[in-house]
Amino acid sequence: MKMAKLKHNNGYNFLAGAIFGLCFGFIISTWCRNKFIPCSPSFSKSGCCPRKLQPAFETDQQSITETNKVIPNNVYIEEEDEKGFLFVGIMTAKKYLDSRVVAAYKTWARSINGKVIFFSSEGSHSTHDIPIVSLKNVDDSYPPQKKSFSMLKYMSDHYLNKYEWFMRADDDVFIKGEILEQFLRSVNSSRPQFIGQAGVGTKEEIGLLSLGSTDNYCMGGTGMVFSRETLRLLAPHLKYCVNNLYTTHEDVEIGRCVRKFAGIPCTWSYEMQKLFYQNFKEYKGSFVDTLLDKEVQTAITMHPIKEPIYQFRINNHFSSTRIQQLRQKQLELHRAISEMNQVLNENSPFDKYGLKPSVNSFIPNKASEVIGWEFVNSKTVSSHLNVNPRKGLTSYRKDTMDDIVSETMDIINRNSRQRGRSIDFKEVLYGYSSIDPLNGPNYILDILLTYRKHKGKNVNVPVRRHAYLHQSFLKTQITESPLTSEPDDSNSQISPHIFRALRGPLQNTHLDKLHETIHFILPLAGKVREFERFMNIYEQICLSRKENAQMHIVLFTKNSSPEEVEEILNIAGKYQKKYRSDLIEVIEADGDFARARALDLGAKQCAMDDLLFCVDVDILLTREALTRIRLNTIQSTQIYYPIVFSQYDPSVICEGLCKIGMTNFTAKVGYWRQFGYGIAAMYRSDLEKVGGYDISIQGWGKEDVDLFEKFVMSNLTIFRAVDTGMIHAFHPVTCDINLEPSQFQMCVGSKATILASQYQLAEMVLGMKEVLNRNMDTKV
Ligand SMILES: *[C@@H]1O[C@H](CO)[C@@H](O)[C@H](O)[C@H]1NC(C)=O
Ligand SMILES: *[C@@H]1O[C@H](CO)[C@@H](O)[C@H](O)[C@H]1NC(C)=O
Ligand SMILES: *[C@@H]1O[C@H](CO)[C@@H](O)[C@H](O)[C@H]1NC(C)=O
């Protein structure tokens, strides 16, 4: 079975143009706020998007006018040239005016090309600026037959000649406005039409609904659509219908009325069940678990949304899909420009974003520039970039793969209906991925698919395909830093704020922030020599330079000998005497050493707005580290978790003969402590907000991971980055033989990891003849 060939390019099969919006850092916020208004040429006066919008949704200002028009006395004010595509009337009740109505109005209602008005009982008022009609002589009793027919009457009285289509919907539905419009434009609205999901009643109801054996009705929940012609035929008889009800089912009665006076049934089409989608899968509704299901993706209306908050979640989901489509379109336009430039053969500017997609567009000039590919399968990544050659797929990589596959499938199935076939995804057998730093990530995937033919004889076969995918970077987008100081680059072409942001963090920052006081919190028990070294560095980078810094030493006296305590106090006293004594404080703590309690005690000495730096006595600091602590920690927003460089044992590295400085960042000298969370900078208010350190944790370790996890769960951002200004100096580990066997094992293990690099240890072992090959001597 041969599958339709994919597009060719450079000898590769191409599923071109899955795109990927890499925002370097930030997205300009206004861009995110864009509403996606469908462009429909037939309603565009100038023939060019964006067209004039329906007033109710243009701005908040105008929707207020709209509200005033409808609510107070329920008097309709004629709008001169109001003409639109779709009028949606939503049936609601007083108790939902502040919940479902708001959620619907703020989400999908904006996607409707036309007007959305909510219909409620007499005396309904909204405290929000939402167009609500309170129907005279209608209450909120159930079943809402009267409400429904009154709404249809209102629609035909006021809007019949102004809109092409009319929809009756519930307040717990989600409607994809753009797709509904696309769909309706394929239907002739000059004919009577009654569109929705056809129902004949449940098993128990059959025979009780007074329906003929071939009669149906459009189900209310998922919404029903009338063409103008239908409503026109219906309008004079609405009164008759409401006075001649056979059942208490409002939708059944509308169906009966339409059949009788417009002479048509609800659309008898299997497809409508998919387009007007009723969620039977989730007991509680709201599309919590089924949002990514194929049926939900293809649906036009979704029902029910039981929890109004989920309207927003669903809306976000489809908006981001739309963003992706628009980005794709943007990319295609860039490509068109590029192509035209070539045809024109002018000296037109080169459009980098219009490059043809290719997994080979990066041209290396040197052997070292050749980009390597990582090998990926459904569970693991094997990479030359990791120290560990094979790793499990992280969740973000897995999500990326899922995204790529789903986009790929969309592209493959784009014309599947016309071709009478569809291709379903089975699995990714394996793949390669790489990042071209100029153009974007590339993928080569070996995918297992199932080919299904619908037309003619049913065919169903597995096929295997290679897909070559390229995601293009979009233009860099930046946001201005809120820390920007007064502009002074008046001769600059770009906004001085942006210019400054580009020059780097140091120049664009408010002066106060650069000189903010850092509160060092240093837990201590014994370790006099290390403390001496730490204070020596502290003097160089802070005290002698009059840096704004304050030292809080938390000393556990029980774990230190009296001599040690005395010596530590002497050292601290020496600096207190030499500099202002209030800059260094020693807090004596009782009980056994607990790092969590130490940091907690230290933090309690500070005010809520103070910037804390939790540090260890083994850390060597540079002055640059201070600047980074200040800039990377933002109150109520960001916590700074530096990744420090951990040095190996100097006596092993080079038998103590070499000098190891603060800038020796080689694999031989040390490693980045990816898994260390002990060193952190945060504001006290943020520490308190997440509940602070867990002071029930004894000894070293665990308290830091616990706090890190609390921050991860909070709405604060964690900025975790390598800091070349913080070094964890080697200190010998002694493992107490009296420890529990398991703890002893762990201690020996960590002792081994900080000894030297694996490579060097291996070299050492290789150098030991007696270890490597005991038989060597006898052989020689
Ligand atoms: C739509 O229906 C009307 C009335 O039946 C008919 O006159 C018209 O030709 C139809 N238009 C199209 C495009 O089929
Ligand atoms: C996090 O939530 C708090 C309220 O709980 C709010 O004051 C703060 O601004 C939020 N921070 C961010 C970065 O959204
Ligand atoms: C550390 O760096 C200095 C200067 O770059 C160099 O001379 C020295 O050999 C390095 N030490 C080690 C152990 O690599």
Average pLDDT, the chain: 81
Amino acid at 715: N
Q: Which two tokens stand for residue 495?
A: 């906004």
Helix, strand or coil, per DSSP, at residue 748: helix
The single residue listed with the structure tokens 């939402």 is 130
d(CA 516, CA 518): 6
Question: What's the Cα-to-Cα distance from 200 to each of 105, 167, 263, 499, rounded to whole Å?
Answer: 31, 20, 17, 66
Residue 53 has pLDDT above 80, yes or no: no
Q: If you count DSSP H runs as helices and E runs as strands, how many of each does the chain have, helices first?
A: 27, 28
84-91 sheet: strands from edge to edge: 132-134, 114-120, 84-91, 163-170, 224-227, 194-195
Q: Which two tokens stand for residue 159?
A: 């809007």
Helix, strand or coil, per DSSP, at residue 260: helix
CA nearest neighbour of 547 among 622, 634, 644:
622
Residue 700 has pLDDT above 90, yes or no: no
Q: Whose CA is nearest to atom 13 of ligand 2?
A: 637
83 lines ligand 1 (CB under 6 A): no
d(CA 411, CA 4): 12
Ligand 2, residues at Cβ distance < 6 Å = 636-637, 715
Residue 199 has pLDDT above 60, yes or no: yes
Q: Which two tokens stand for residue 72?
A: 């107070």
Residue 262 has pLDDT above 80, yes or no: yes
Phi, psi for 54 (deg, rounded to 5): -65, 130
pLDDT of residue 766: 82
Task: Check if the beta carbon of residue 695 is closer than 8 Å to that of residue 596.
Answer: yes
Amino acid at 385: L
Q: What are 574-626's pLDDT values in tens digits? A: 999 999 878 899 999 988 888 899 999 999 999 999 999 999 999 999 999 99
Phi, psi for 334 (deg, rounded to 5): -60, -40
Confidence of residue 394 (pLDDT cuts 50, 70, 90): confident
d(CA 510, CA 725): 22
User: Distance, CA 227 to ligand 1 centroid (Å)?
Assistant: 13
Listed in sequence order, the DSSP H helices in 371-451 are: 395-412, 416-419
Task: Check if the beta carbon of residue 105 is closer than 8 Å to that of residue 154.
Answer: no
Average pLDDT over every residue of 512-528: 90
CB neighbour class for 114 (10 Å; exposed up to 12, middle 13-18, buried from 19): buried
Q: Whose CA is nearest to atom 7 of ligand 3?
A: 659
Answer with the residue of higher pLDDT: 517 or 349: 517
Residue 663 has pLDDT above 50, yes or no: yes
Phi, psi for 402 (deg, rounded to 5): -60, -40
Domain layout of the chain by residue ranges: 66-275, 370-470, 516-764
CB neighbour class for 250 (10 Å; exposed up to 12, middle 13-18, buried from 19): buried
d(CA 586, CA 572): 8
**DSSP assignment string, 9-39:** ETTEEE-TT------SS---HHHHH---PPP
Confidence of residue 716 (pLDDT cuts 50, 70, 90): very high
Q: Which ligand is nearest to the CA of 664?
A: 3
Spell out the residues 6+ positions from residue 747 whose beta carbon is closer than 8 angstroms to its own: 733, 735, 736, 739
Residue 44 has pLDDT above 80, yes or no: no
pLDDT of residue 214: 78
pLDDT of residue 517: 94
Phi, psi for 382 (deg, rounded to 5): -110, 120
User: Distance, CA 708 to ligand 2 centroid (Å)?
Assistant: 17
Average pLDDT over every residue of 180-198: 94
Q: What are 427-472's pLDDT values in tens digits? A: 999 999 999 888 889 999 999 999 988 777 888 899 998 989 988 8
Q: Is 504 left (phi over 0), alpha (psi -120 to 50) or beta?
A: left
User: Distance, CA 164 to ligand 1 centroid (Å)?
Assistant: 14
Average pLDDT over every residue of 187-191: 92
Helix, strand or coil, per DSSP, at residue 718: strand
742 lines ligand 1 (CB under 6 A): no
Answer with the residue of higher pLDDT: 634 or 495: 634
Spell out the residues 6+ positions from residue 191 whose beta carbon is closer than 8 angstroms to its own: 227, 229
Pocket test for ligand 1, best of 190, 227, 232 (most atoms within 8 A of CB): 190
**Percent of the chain beyond pLDDT 90?**
46
Task: Give CB contacts under 8 A, 24+ apart, made by 558-566.
Answer: 558/590, 558/591, 558/592, 558/593, 559/525, 559/526, 559/592, 559/593, 560/524, 560/525, 560/526, 561/526, 564/526, 564/528
Q: Which ligand is nearest to the CA of 635?
A: 2
Q: Which ligand is nearest to the CA of 716?
A: 2
CA nearest neighbour of 237 among 265, 221, 259:
259
186 lines ligand 1 (CB under 6 A): no
User: Distance, CA 491 to ligand 1 centroid (Å)?
Assistant: 63
CA nearest neighbour of 94 among 64, 125, 67:
125
d(CA 520, CA 536): 15
User: Distance, CA 33 to ligand 2 centroid (Å)?
Assistant: 20
d(CA 423, CA 454): 11
Answer with the residue of higher pLDDT: 377 or 482: 377
Burial 665-679 (b: 16+ CB within 10 A, else e): eeeebbbebeebbbb
Q: What are 72-95's pLDDT values in tens digits? A: 334 444 556 778 999 999 999 999
pLDDT of residue 480: 61
**DSSP assignment string, 564-630:** HHHHHHHHHHHHHHHS-GGGEEEEEE-SS-BHHHHHHHHHHTS-TTPEEEE--TTEEE-HHHHHHHH
d(CA 448, CA 433): 18
d(CA 56, CA 73): 18
191 lines ligand 1 (CB under 6 A): yes
Exposure on the CB side of residue 527, measured as CA atoms within 13 A: 21
Average pLDDT over every residue of 171-195: 95
Answer with the residue of higher pLDDT: 562 or 735: 562
Spell out the residues 6+ positions from residue 22 whose beta carbon is closer than 8 angstroms to its own: 440, 473, 474
214 lines ligand 1 (CB under 6 A): no
pLDDT of residue 327: 85
pLDDT of residue 208: 78
The single residue listed with the structure tokens 């900078």 is 681
Q: Whose CA is nearest to atom 14 of ligand 2?
A: 715
Confidence of residue 38 (pLDDT cuts 50, 70, 90): very low
CA nearest neighbour of 175 among 54, 299, 58, 53:
299
Q: Whose CA is nearest to atom 5 of ligand 2?
A: 715
Confidence of residue 57 (pLDDT cuts 50, 70, 90): very low
Confidence of residue 4 (pLDDT cuts 50, 70, 90): very low
User: Distance, CA 715 to ligand 2 centroid (Å)?
Assistant: 6
Q: Which two tokens stand for residue 675?
A: 């898994």
d(CA 329, CA 711): 38
Helix, strand or coil, per DSSP, at residue 461: strand
Same CATH fold assignment for domains 66-275 and 516-764: yes
pLDDT of residue 773: 64
Q: Does domain 66-275 have CATH number 1.10.1330.10?
A: no
Residue 96 has pLDDT above 60, yes or no: yes
Average pLDDT over every residue of 260-272: 92
Question: What's the Cα-to-Cα distance from 120 to each of 151, 446, 620, rounded to whole Å?
Answer: 9, 55, 69
Q: What are 725-752's pLDDT values in tens digits? A: 999 998 888 887 877 787 788 778 878 8
Confidence of residue 368 (pLDDT cuts 50, 70, 90): confident
CB neighbour class for 384 (10 Å; exposed up to 12, middle 13-18, buried from 19): exposed
Cis peptide before 482 (omega within 30 of 0): no
pLDDT of residue 747: 79
669 lines ligand 3 (CB under 6 A): yes
Q: Which two tokens stand for residue 548?
A: 């704004």
Q: Whose CA is nearest to atom 13 of ligand 3?
A: 660
- How many CB atoms neighbour CB 344 within 10 A? 9
pLDDT of residue 582: 82
pLDDT of residue 78: 52
Task: Check if the beta carbon of residue 645 is closer than 8 Å to that of residue 672.
Answer: yes
Listed in sequence order, the DSSP H helices in 262-394 are: 272-275, 294-298, 309-344
Listed in sequence order, the DSSP H helices in 186-247 are: 228-234, 238-243
d(CA 729, CA 664): 12
CATH superfamily of 516-764: Spore Coat Polysaccharide Biosynthesis Protein SpsA; Chain A (3.90.550.10)
Amino acid at 588: E
d(CA 469, CA 445): 8
